[in-house]
Amino acid sequence: MISTFVIIIIIIILYLAWRVIKRNQARQLGTNPHHAVNDAIACSLTLAAIPVSKDPSGLMRTDGKRPDGLTLIPWQAGKPLTWDVMVVSTLAD
């Protein structure tokens, strides 16, 4: 079961990611949305004083995919937090 503290931290990270995207929206035009969201999450965690590694090597899921990022400090039960971004768009690029 997820504790209330973890839920609050996740909400803060998502809010910070949204703020970073809004602030950098003019600079991010024309870039891949996947990279923009991934950069926003990494930047938000860094702003929260949580060191991260983007595109970590050596981590593989059973389907051969890698996560987009990893915290460098243990998060829960001695394991780091990982994230994977998927952007779905109904508009053709």
In a domain, 59, yes or no: yes
- Nearest CA to 69 among 24, 18, 34? 34
- Nearest CA to 45 among 22, 72, 5? 72
In a domain, 41, yes or no: yes
- Residue by residue, pLDDT tens for the chain (93 residues) are 457 777 777 777 777 777 766 666 645 555 677 777 788 788 878 877 888 888 887 777 777 778 888 888 887 888 888 888 877 665 545
Domain containing 63 equals: 4-83
Q: pLDDT value at position 89?
A: 61
* Pairwise CA distance, residues 43 & 22, whole Å: 13
HSE toward the beta carbon, residue 5, CA cutoff 13 A: 2
- If one counts the domains in the chain, the total is 1
